[in-house]
Chain A
Amino acid sequence: MAKFEPVLLARIGKPDSALLETYQRDGGYSALKKALGMAPEEIINTVKDSGLRGRGGAGFPTGLKWTFLPKGHPGPIYLAINADESEPGTFNNRILMEEDPHQIIEGIIISCFAIKSNKSFLYLRYEYGKSYRALENAVNECYAAGILGDNVMGSGFKCDIVLHRGAAAYICGEETGLIESLEGKRAWPRIKPPFPAIEGAFRKPTIVNNIETMACVVHIVNKGVEWFKSMGVPADPNNPRDAGSYGPKLYCLSGHVNKPGCYEVPLGITARQLIDEYGGGVPNGRGIKAVVPGGISMGFLSASELDTPLDFNGPGKVGCLGLGTAAVVVIDDQTSMVDVLYNCCRFFSHESCGQCTPCREGTAWMTKIMHRIRSGQGEMRDLDLLAEVAGSIGIIPGTTICGLSDGAAWPVKNAIKKFRPEFEEYIQSKRSTIKPAELLAVH
């Protein structure tokens, strides 16, 4: 497979790539100029035709989401940008924001123009200090250059960007949790309907999009629908619910690989290709035991499933939840899946917002069970109990408001299904891999 020439990451690593001067030298804001000459509906249709699906995790078609806004609304309409990148293993938004913030801002202004919004909130997780400073500087440059403000590039269109730093919680990445947090409340996801496009931030219609989606919008406007559709995997004609997976995607490769990093590849690359061709294989010649296809909430690919294409539809075919954030974490054959799963459970029980009973109690219970198994006191029936708990929590069985607990349940379901012999062996051996200090620090 020929090396793909990066588009979204084209400017990453160049000197002073975060500055307006270099961005404009590289042809920046030409897409915005082009977009301002188009009708807003035309931009929405272009994005819709391109088949762009949200890069934040759920993969909802972006153009379609934009059309959910009420027609002829007197405003204000808000665009909220989700930069609360918290899925373990994910760092593509961070690279874009730190190294190329103007690409994001251009995308935001184009999107605002398309959905007739004059104000955009960029919700940034607190830990991303460098991103914040880069964005802050970029926004200030844009205001000074007349790219943001009351008269965007002389077109008369008004656009403001508000940078908002969250207080660091995974749940703020859920779109209604983000809106609640933006409003200054506890980030408890809202019950839907109404969906944010009808009633979102400050009770106004709100579109929530991901950072990477914004970057894609710039290039779709610039290079056209045909270019975008030339990459990726077309829709499966046998699956009416598949909207296809087009365009480039930033894969975050981490874990046990020689060259971890963020790689831009057209959607549909297989896990094996990504690991071997881009990641340089597993260190010390070890084998692969499991691969997380897109953040740990998506579950695990076993060693025999590495040829699964990592598009929006692929991981689901082998029992994973989906592509998620395309954060590929490689787990080598020297790693205990018991430890991996315990760590997953611990993360989700820590991050459960605590609103819905099944998620609040279920995730914490799974962590306690995993802790007990790790400490050598597991019983065989615990595996079925874990599977039952995992099967009963989440938005898919309908027992919670948001999808956090689906994400908490999936690694458990996958691990117990795909690696059950290892868990059984571990439980039967009665050994404990727990370190004494950990005994004190059970979450």
Chain B
Amino acid sequence: MPTVYIDDKSIELAPGEKLNCIQAAERAGIEIPSYCYHPALSVVASCRMCLVEVGEKKPDGTVSIPPKVFPGCQTPVKDGTVIVTNSKRVLDAQKATLEYLLLNHPLDCPVCDQAGECGLQDFSYKYGRGYSRLNEPKNIKPDKDYIGEQITLFTDRCIMCTRCVRFTREYSGTGELQIINRGSHEEIDIFPGQPCNNKLAGNVVDLCPVGALCSKDFLYEQRVWWLKGKDSVCPGCSTGCSIRVDQNNDVLYRLKPRYNPQAQGHFMCDEGRFGWKYISSEKRLRQPYQKQGAGLAPSNWNAVMPAVKTAIGTQVKAAPTKFAAIISPWTTVEEAYLLAKLLKGLSPDVTLALGPVRTVGGDDQYPKTVTGAPPKEVKFTIRAEKCPNRRGVEGVLEHFQGSVISFETIASQLQSGALEGLYVLNADPEAMFTADFVQAAKGLKLLVVQDLLESPLANEAHFVLAGAAWAEKEGTFVNHNGLAQSIFRGVRGPGEARPDGRILWELNDRKGLFRASTVRQEIADEIVAFAPLILGDLGEHGVMLNSSEPVVAPALQPA
């Protein structure tokens, strides 16, 4: 096996594997600091932070190392490569690079959003010198708040790693960002009047290793060390980007993409990144409601839960074929399962339908080409299907009634008066808040709406159950490709609102607390399509449902 030596450690390369020094060292558990290098972007080797000594161990055991440093990101490793990351030459080079980077950096960390998660701070502590020898005035560059609708540029903080420029050229393909001027007067800028507003633009803020590119949405909102993150999945489309939900004191501040090679890669789109504001909407349901006379009266869970249960039981018993449930593709697999279990347990004749699958246009593929032609190699797709869990809900429905009944079928039944009872698990504003639909729903003997927001439909309901948004609950989403990923509860819902899983758990008369992982194991046991979820824990990158590889618990994996 080809062997690479890094300081006092060594790693073995798989056949045909191509790594650079940074990747090889990372595998050995050694950090080589870098700024301009990003695994998803081309290598430019310009920041000069990843300088290491690179030599070769000859077959006769001698090691030759040229007396100079090499950029780790640009230097490929092969059998016998020796990488030295802790020699005086390397430490001096790192120290020098950091001193150069800080020469014209304003050091305004106290007011900088990046402070706390800043590459310049981190590496300065680890590899830099404690003081500056600069005795001259710093370059002053103007801030540019016109870079994009969501992006602002603190030009003087920039270290010219050009990650953002390469991202817009290589990933989004839109190429809005560029470098102007030369030498130490260089600045990132846009072409006049062409701001960086593409749908992937928010990623340049994440890519920026310092506080130069900042998100206007998050600007001065929160110091990052107060933020607590929970892994989740973006509900914006069926791509199912892995994300992290950053919150403090139950206020959601921002979403950050999380690397997942099985889902989307490194990035996420702006639709998802900024599309969560409804979570803190004024119109959120804060408590359950029960119909009283012509209107709704606020209730409490203790009163409403037995009442709902009785009402559903009575209605299903009276006319099982005239009872239906609409399960939105925004609900988790566990919630769909629990509701299906409840209703099919009451009567197998109850109809379960998939909520409206919202589709907007076609798949939006990146990188864009100048001519608008589809890209040769697709690096990122914003999918037309705007719901995160159609496949998951379909899997549950197929198990319980053999087929998936569409929303259109159930809506026409409702219009024709063929239904008497309806359970809506998360409504869709476009299809279900229409005058026709609401009018038809008025004739129902029982309408239960479990949802997030106040709505015309909820106004007509007999019971309104205040549910939770995706960031407020745990569960499983299955993306377009059959990748099951777990979401975790990042923030608590407003007021008395409860996670939907908990509501349905209690409607099922189950004892104890609702835990998604427990339900997930139960589903895996019962439904063949979900068998790979048997461990309950889906890990960082999720589990492919259609994978033929056997499921092995992490502890049982060979070392």
CA distance A372 to B137 in the complex (A): 10
**A55 on the interface (CB 8 Å rule)?**
no
Chain A hits for B46, CB < 8 A: 188, 355-357, 401
Q: Please tell me if the beta carbons of B68 and A396 are within 8 angstroms of each other in the complex.
A: yes
Q: Please tell me if the beta carbons of B68 and A372 are within 8 angstroms of each other in the complex.
A: no
Which residues of A370-399 are within 8 A (CB) of B?
A: 371-372, 379, 382, 385, 392, 396-399
CA distance A6 to B136 in the complex (A): 50
Chain A hits for B15, CB < 8 A: none
Q: Please tell me if the beta carbons of A385 and B133 are within 8 angstroms of each other in the complex.
A: yes
Chain A hits for B181, CB < 8 A: 354
Chain B hits for A385, CB < 8 A: 133
- Which stretch from A90-98, A219-227, A360-368 is at the chain B interface? A360-368
- Which stretch from B23-31, B99-107, B251-259, B288-296 is at the chain A interface? B99-107
CA distance A353 to B184 in the complex (A): 9
- Which stretch from A10-18, A277-285, A331-339, A344-352 is at the chain B interface? A344-352
CA distance A355 to B186 in the complex (A): 9
| CB-CB under 8 A for A399 and B45, given A351-B183, A364-B184, A368-B136 | no
Q: Please tell me if the beta carbons of B68 and A397 are within 8 angstroms of each other in the complex.
A: yes
Q: Please tell me if the beta carbons of A357 and B48 are within 8 angstroms of each other in the complex.
A: yes
CA distance A362 to B74 in the complex (A): 22
**A253 on the interface (CB 8 Å rule)?**
no
CA distance A360 to B105 in the complex (A): 13
Which residues of B36-61 are within 8 A (CB) of A?
A: 43-49, 51
Q: Please tell me if the beta carbons of B74 and A191 are within 8 angstroms of each other in the complex.
A: yes
CA distance A369 to B136 in the complex (A): 7
| CB-CB under 8 A for A352 and B183, given A369-B136, A397-B69 | yes
**B70 on the interface (CB 8 Å rule)?**
yes
Nearest CB in chain B to that of A186: its residue = B179
**A297 on the interface (CB 8 Å rule)?**
no
Q: Please tell me if the beta carbons of B69 and A398 are within 8 angstroms of each other in the complex.
A: yes
CA distance A351 to B71 in the complex (A): 23
Kindly identify which residue among B51, B100, B159 contacts A365, using a CB–CB cutoff of 8 Å: B100
Question: A412 CB to closest chain B CB, in angstroms?
Answer: 15
CA distance A354 to B184 in the complex (A): 6
Q: Please tell me if the beta carbons of B74 and A400 are within 8 angstroms of each other in the complex.
A: no
CA distance A186 to B101 in the complex (A): 22
Kindly identify which residue among B71, B137, B179 contacts A354, using a CB–CB cutoff of 8 Å: B179
CA distance A276 to B48 in the complex (A): 45
- Which stretch from B90-98, B236-244, B429-437 is at the chain A interface? B90-98
Q: Please tell me if the beta carbons of A358 and B97 are within 8 angstroms of each other in the complex.
A: yes
Chain A hits for B93, CB < 8 A: 392, 397-399
Chain A hits for B133, CB < 8 A: 385
Question: B525 CB to closest chain A CB, in angstroms?
Answer: 54
**A169 on the interface (CB 8 Å rule)?**
yes
Nearest CB in chain A to that of B69: its residue = A398
Chain B hits for A356, CB < 8 A: 46-48
Q: Please tell me if the beta carbons of A358 and B100 are within 8 angstroms of each other in the complex.
A: yes
**B548 on the interface (CB 8 Å rule)?**
no
Q: Please tell me if the beta carbons of A357 and B182 are within 8 angstroms of each other in the complex.
A: no
**B135 on the interface (CB 8 Å rule)?**
yes
Q: Please tell me if the beta carbons of B70 and A398 are within 8 angstroms of each other in the complex.
A: yes
**B307 on the interface (CB 8 Å rule)?**
no
Q: Please tell me if the beta carbons of A354 and B136 are within 8 angstroms of each other in the complex.
A: no
Chain A hits for B303, CB < 8 A: none
Q: Please tell me if the beta carbons of A392 and B183 are within 8 angstroms of each other in the complex.
A: no
CA distance A357 to B104 in the complex (A): 11
Chain B hits for A368, CB < 8 A: 136-137
Nearest CB in chain A to that of B178: its residue = A186
Question: A82 CB to closest chain B CB, in angstroms?
Answer: 20
Q: How many residues of B contact A (CB 8 A)?
A: 36
Q: Please tell me if the beta carbons of A361 and B68 are within 8 angstroms of each other in the complex.
A: no
Q: Please tell me if the beta carbons of A357 and B45 are within 8 angstroms of each other in the complex.
A: no
Q: Please tell me if the beta carbons of B101 and A361 are within 8 angstroms of each other in the complex.
A: yes
CA distance A362 to B101 in the complex (A): 10
Which residues of B188-238 are within 8 A (CB) of A?
A: none
Question: A47 CB to closest chain B CB, in angstroms?
Answer: 30
Chain B hits for A397, CB < 8 A: 68-69, 93
CA distance A368 to B104 in the complex (A): 12
Kindly identify which residue among B68, B92, B183 contacts A349, using a CB–CB cutoff of 8 Å: B183
| CB-CB under 8 A for A357 and B183, given A191-B43, A191-B44, A400-B48 | no
Which residues of B68-115 are within 8 A (CB) of A?
A: 68-71, 74, 92-93, 96-97, 100-101, 103-104
B contact face: mostly helix, strand, loop, or mixed: loop
Q: Please tell me if the beta carbons of A349 and B184 are within 8 angstroms of each other in the complex.
A: yes
Chain A hits for B48, CB < 8 A: 356-358, 399-400
**B160 on the interface (CB 8 Å rule)?**
yes
Kindly identify which residue among A355, A396, A400 contacts B44, using a CB–CB cutoff of 8 Å: A355
**B134 on the interface (CB 8 Å rule)?**
yes
CA distance A169 to B183 in the complex (A): 11
Chain B hits for A186, CB < 8 A: 179
CA distance A371 to B47 in the complex (A): 26
Chain A hits for B100, CB < 8 A: 357-358, 360-362, 365
With most chain B CB atoms within 10 A of its CB, the pick from A356, A371, A372, A379 is A356
CA distance A350 to B97 in the complex (A): 20
Q: Please tell me if the beta carbons of A357 and B92 are within 8 angstroms of each other in the complex.
A: no
CA distance A400 to B70 in the complex (A): 9
Question: B33 CB to closest chain A CB, in angstroms?
Answer: 12
| CB-CB under 8 A for A360 and B136, given A353-B182, A354-B183 | no
CA distance A87 to B179 in the complex (A): 25
Q: Please tell me if the beta carbons of A401 and B184 are within 8 angstroms of each other in the complex.
A: no
Q: Please tell me if the beta carbons of A354 and B45 are within 8 angstroms of each other in the complex.
A: no
With most chain A CB atoms within 10 A of its CB, the pick from B104, B184, B185 is B184
Q: Please tell me if the beta carbons of A357 and B136 are within 8 angstroms of each other in the complex.
A: no
Question: B28 CB to closest chain A CB, in angstroms?
Answer: 22
Q: Please tell me if the beta carbons of A361 and B186 are within 8 angstroms of each other in the complex.
A: no
Chain A hits for B139, CB < 8 A: 364
CA distance A69 to B133 in the complex (A): 47
Question: A350 CB to closest chain B CB, in angstroms?
Answer: 6
Chain B hits for A351, CB < 8 A: 182-183
Q: Please tell me if the beta carbons of A392 and B182 are within 8 angstroms of each other in the complex.
A: no
Q: Please tell me if the beta carbons of B97 and A354 are within 8 angstroms of each other in the complex.
A: no
Chain A hits for B179, CB < 8 A: 186, 354
With most chain A CB atoms within 10 A of its CB, the pick from B96, B101, B160, B181 is B96
Q: Please tell me if the beta carbons of A357 and B47 are within 8 angstroms of each other in the complex.
A: yes
CA distance A169 to B101 in the complex (A): 24
Which residues of A97-130 are within 8 A (CB) of B?
A: none
Q: Please tell me if the beta carbons of B45 and A392 are within 8 angstroms of each other in the complex.
A: no
Residue interface bits A135-155, CB-to-B below 8 A is 1, else 0: 000000000000000000000
Question: B329 CB to closest chain A CB, in angstroms?
Answer: 46
Nearest CB in chain A to that of B73: its residue = A191
Question: B20 CB to closest chain A CB, in angstroms?
Answer: 12
CA distance A371 to B135 in the complex (A): 11
11 contacts between A and B (CB under 8 A): A188-B46, A191-B43, A191-B74, A357-B160, A358-B96, A361-B100, A361-B184, A365-B136, A368-B136, A385-B133, A399-B48
Q: Which 7 A-B pairs have the closest CB atoms?
A: A398-B68, A361-B100, A364-B184, A368-B136, A398-B69, A352-B183, A354-B186
Residues of B within 8 A of A (CB): 43-49, 51, 68-71, 74, 92-93, 96-97, 100-101, 103-104, 133-137, 139, 159-160, 179, 181-186
Other A-B pairs, 15, CB within 8 Å; known A357-B47, A398-B51: A188-B46, A191-B71, A351-B182, A354-B182, A357-B101, A358-B96, A360-B160, A361-B100, A362-B100, A369-B136, A372-B135, A398-B69, A399-B48, A399-B97, A401-B46
